[in-house]
Structure 1
Amino acid sequence: MAPSEWLVSRIPESILPRIIAYAGFVRFALVGLFTFILTTVLFFGMKTTVLDEKPITAFSIATLIATVVSYVLNREWSFAERGGRSKRHEASLFFLVSAIALGITQIPLALSRYVFDLQAPNLSLVGEHVADFISGSVLGTLLAMAFRWWAFRKWVFPTELADAEPEQSEVDR
């Protein structure tokens, strides 16, 4: 039994039609969950070791690495049936949208740290980590995810191009 068949067999039949109707978003969300975990592990790994005095830098690096992973997974799985642009054009748009999303992701963390001053010595080290996690990893990621879902569907992987453009040769892609 294929992994996808096994997974589908475990989903209650009452909600399966809804999941199928929103399969693209479910795939996008699963990629997002995976890259969220990757970002969080990298962020806290760097923040508590080599970049302990530079949380914004640590978060930016972690997000950049996760973005590259996200491009591959989204292109090959989440939006595989969409698109139609050349790979270079699509990748350029993906990384432009992701760069904007990176800025969006940083806003809550920057506000937490530098406006609300939720850091040591005002908070315990545990309190600082919790504030960083909630502001950067949770709020920032949710804001950026909403923006990316909209922008990927609108500009990076549009359905109109998949239906309208003639098939390109592999050299053009």
Structure 2
Amino acid sequence: MTVVEATLARIPQPYRDKAIHHRELIKFLMVGGSTWVIDTVVFLLLKTTVLDSKPVTAKVMAVLVATMVSYVLNREWSFRTRGGRERHHEAALFFLISGVGVAVYSAPLWISRYVLELQEPFVSLVTQEFSDFVAGQIVGTLVGMAFRWWAFRRFVWPAQFVRRQPPPA
């Protein structure tokens, strides 16, 4: 029995049926949570050291690192029942969509900093840092995840390539 099957067996009915039905989404969200931690650590590390005056650049670099990890985890776990494309075609689509995702993820931080001017000297350092975190790590992540969920299922691993697996016993 796999870890996922063991975990599903512990969920009471009728929630178990819902979890099984949405298994792919749950795995995607778990990968997203893991890569969010990676993204956050890299972003905060870069933003507080070598890229302290360039928060958007720090965010883009953090998203790129998290995206590389995301490809491996999504390919091998979240969407493992999907296939049918050659690996290089699939990877190219994944990284193309993820490139658009970088813009989607970064847009709230850019708007916060440069449109709303939530940066020093217009606001306090505490307000700037809080705004950066909310815009970059919460709003950006939620909007970016929704976009990537839709785009990955539509273009990278579409329904036409789903390999059905029997439900767990």
TM-score greater than 0.5 by the shorter chain: yes
Q: Deviations over 1:90-113 (max 9, x none)?
A: 000000000001111111110000
Contact 2:9 2:16 in 1 (8 A): no
**CA–CA distance in 1 between the matches of 2:39 and 2:2?**
29
Extract unaligned runs of 5+ from structure 2: 164-169
Residue 70 (1) aligns with residue 70 (2): yes
Q: Structure 1 residues 119 and 3, CA, compared in 2 at 3 Å: closer, same or farther?
A: same
Q: Deviations over 1:5-38 (max 9, x none)?
A: 5533543334111111100000001001111111
Extract unaligned runs of 5+ from structure 1: 164-173
Number of residue-to-residue matches in the alignment: 163
| Partner SS, residue 123 of structure 1 | coil
Q: Deviations over 1:27-82 (max 9, x none)?
A: 00100111111101110111011110110110000000000000000000000001
The one-letter code sitting in structure 1 at the alignment partner of 2:58 is: A
Deviation at 1:2, TM superposition (A): 5.3
Deviation at 1:136, TM superposition (A): 1.0
When the two structures are superposed, what TM-score results if normalisation uses the length of structure 2?
0.90
Residue 152 (1) aligns with residue 115 (2): no
Q: In the alignment, which residue of structure 1 is the partner of 2:166?
A: none
**CA–CA distance in 2 between the matches of 1:117 and 1:131?**
10
Contact 1:83 1:157 in 2 (8 A): yes
The one-letter code sitting in structure 2 at the alignment partner of 1:142 is: L
When the two structures are superposed, what TM-score results if normalisation uses the length of structure 1?
0.88
What's the % identity of the aligned pairs? 48
Q: In the alignment, which residue of structure 2 is the partner of 1:8?
A: 8
Q: Structure 1 residues 12 and 123, CA, compared in 2 at 3 Å: closer, same or farther?
A: farther
Q: Structure 1 residues 9 and 31, CA, compared in 2 at 3 Å: closer, same or farther?
A: same
**CA–CA distance in 2 between the matches of 1:23 and 1:125?**
42
Q: In the alignment, which residue of structure 1 is the partner of 2:93?
A: 93
Deviation at 1:144, TM superposition (A): 1.2
Please tell me the root mean square deviation across aligned C-alpha atoms, in Å: 1.6
Q: In the alignment, which residue of structure 2 is the partner of 1:60?
A: 60
Q: Within 5 Å, which residues of 2 pair with 1:6-85?
A: 6-85=6-85
Q: Deviations over 1:115-155 (max 9, x none)?
A: 10101222222221110111111111111111111111111
Which runs of structure 1 show a deviation greater than 3 angstroms over 4 or more consecutive aligned residues?
Answer: 1-6
- 4-13 vs 81-90, greater mean Cα deviation: 4-13
Q: Structure 1 residues 111 and 94, CA, compared in 2 at 3 Å: closer, same or farther?
A: same
Deviation at 1:88, TM superposition (A): 0.2
**CA–CA distance in 1 between the matches of 2:129 and 2:114?**
15
Contact 2:8 2:20 in 1 (8 A): no
The one-letter code sitting in structure 1 at the alignment partner of 2:64 is: L
Contact 2:43 2:62 in 1 (8 A): yes
